[in-house]
Amino acid sequence: MKIEKVHITKSAQKLIQDVPALKRAYAEITKSIKSVTWPAGSRKFTINNSEKNINGVVPLKESCYVMLEKNYSWFREKPLKVLKEEKEKGGPIDVYKEFADNSPLALKRVGLEFETGNISSAHRSLNKLLLGQNRKELDLSVIMMPVKALAYYLTDRVTNYEELEPYFENVKRAAFIFIGFDADAYDPSAPIIPKGPDGMSTRSIKKWKDL
Amino acid sequence: MKIEKVHITKSAQKLIQDVPALKRAYAEITKSIKSVTWPAGSRKFTINNSEKNINGVVPLKESCYVMLEKNYSWFREKPLKVLKEEKEKGGPIDVYKEFADNSPLALKRVGLEFETGNISSAHRSLNKLLLGQNRKELDLSVIMMPVKALAYYLTDRVTNYEELEPYFENVKRAAFIFIGFDADAYDPSAPIIPKGPDGMSTRSIKKWKDL
């Protein structure tokens, strides 16, 4: 996969420049999305573009998350305290990691969501990641989406980067990175990506556990 | 219908206190939701509570909007310039009115959305209304939702006030009013509210037209 579009808010830019741990976090995320290939065993990502909405999208997310978990020790399903304990409602953050840079005071927490739902679901992710920052539970938030050109061949109504883009400015004072990824190649004879969560082998995920 | 819960951000509170036109706007909105009755011809709102998710919710929205349009001259489907002209994507604001207080300089613009979709759709409304304020196209935003107790008997997964409540603080610096309405009475023998947009008589809506 390749990264086609990126939007980094000013404070996220400053964090990546000034904090080595967060520069590393961003590198881990970009490497993970770039590592997603198709078909299995290929060195690049080729999408079947024979028909609109023909491919699934969940297997892409799973591939990216597996890489984050296995190679870089990220955790899955991190609940925000504000939602779980205080408000007692709302789901966890998809993927999460704490970076310490050898100092507990320097603890930095990054939350990531890879959007495979529709546009309104992406708005919910955005608001959840913002709430986490407002409540000092997250330092940096990342939202990953296919660009519009790729989304055309993925599950119907999956959020695309361009569709959420008008709202990036709503969080301009927070630390957000928006990543729009695209296939390396389009080929009508490429295998079709299966739809649904069973596209890749089932496995146990590394869930976050509060100490 | 009765108003059961209200959350007014500080700047919305200040606007209602200081600007007569916005005090009037708020009064028009509360009168309109309170005016919704069921069954037709009744003086109060009685919900059928014989079964979970048994009633529709769109007819309630329509009743409220009709009142705003006919009695108080609000407009439907006001596009934000930032979405329509600049970003060229994204739908309009449900209901909109401009209040002038006899001075063009005092022009105040109010946008309202009555949520009949699921929670993520409510997040999109919230972000759209916030974008409108950030871009100085709206001065006050209002989101109307059933409270959880009532939502239990409405269309499955319709947003309820308590569900969006954890996110109210995301817009605490903007001018927002969140209204949670409830039925006046619960009665298992009350008529069931039809689902879908055809619950009430069809009619032409008064759409906003840019000059």
Q: What is the pLDDT of residue A197?
A: 60
**Interface pTM, i.e. ipTM:** 0.87
A104 vs A198 pLDDT, higher one: A104
Q: Per-residue pLDDT for A133 more than 80?
A: yes
What are B118's two structure tokens?
């699921």
Among A83-97, A122-136, B5-19, B134-148, name the one with the lowest average pLDDT.
A83-97
Res A94: pLDDT: 87
Listed range (A131-135, B58-62, B99-103, B160-164) with the worst mean pLDDT: B99-103
Please report the DSSP string for chain A in residue order: -EEEEEEE-HHHHHHHHH-HHHHHHHHHHHHHHHT--BSTT-SSBEE--SSTT-S-SHHHHHHHHHHHHHHH--EEEE--HIIIIII--S--EEEEEEE-TT-GGG-EEEEEEE--S-HHHHHHHHHHHHHHHHTTS-SEEEEEEE-HHHHTTSSTT---HHHHGGGGGGGTTS-EEEEEEE-SEE-TTSPPPPPSGGGS------B----
- Looking at residue B197, its pLDDT comes to 60
Query: pLDDT value at position A105?
Result: 66
Is the confidence at residue A64, as pLDDT, over 60? yes
In the predicted model, what is the mean pLDDT of chain B? Answer: 90
Percent of chain B with pLDDT over 70: 92
**Measured between beta carbons, which residues in chain B are less than 8 angstroms from residue A134?**
169-170
The H or E element spanning position B20 is: helix B20-34
Cβ contacts of A121 on chain B, cutoff 8 Å: 120
Q: Which among B62, B113, B115, B137 is annotated as catalytic?
A: B115
pLDDT score of A76: 86
* The pLDDT of residue B200: 45
Residue B180's closest CA among B94, B115, B95, B121?
B115
Question: If you average pLDDT over residues B178-187, what whole number do you get?
Answer: 97
Per-residue model confidence (pLDDT) at position A56:
93
Q: Which pLDDT band holds residue A200 (cuts at 50, 70, 90)?
A: very low
DSSP tag of B199: G
The torsion region of residue A182 among left (phi > 0), alpha (psi -120 to 50) and beta comes to: beta
pLDDT for the residue A211 = 54
Q: Can you give the pTM of this predicted structure?
A: 0.90
Q: Are A208 and A32 in contact (CB under 8 A)?
A: no
- The A-side interface with B (CB below 8 A) comprises 82-83, 86-87, 89-90, 117-121, 123-124, 126-127, 130-131, 134, 162-163, 165-167, 169-170
> Nearest-CA distance from A170 to chain B in Å?
6
Are B123 and A118 a contacting pair at CB < 8 A? no
pLDDT tens-digit profile of B96-118? Answer: 998 887 666 678 999 999 999 99
Predicted confidence at residue B132, as pLDDT, reads 94
Nearest chain A CA: its distance from B2 CA (Å) = 25
A121 to B117: CB separation less than 8 angstroms, yes or no: no
* Inter-chain contacts counted by CB atoms under 8 A, chains A and B: 59
Active site residues of A: 115
* Residues of B whose CB is below 8 A from A124: 119-120, 123
pLDDT band at B40 (very low <50, low <70, confident <90, very high): confident
Is A26 a residue whose pLDDT tops 50?
A: yes
The closest CB to that of A120, out of B86, B121, B167, belongs to B121
Place of tokens 């409405």: B154
The HSE-up count of residue A125 (CA atoms within 13 Å, CB side) is: 28
- The HSE-up count of residue B20 (CA atoms within 13 Å, CB side) is 5
Mean pLDDT of A194-206: 62
Q: Which residues from chain A sit within 8 angstroms of residue B165, using beta carbons? A: 87
Question: For residue B169, what pLDDT band results from cuts at 50, 70 and 90?
Answer: very high
**Candidates B170, B176, B178, partner chain A, best to mutate (most A CBs within 10 A):** B170
pLDDT at A141: 97
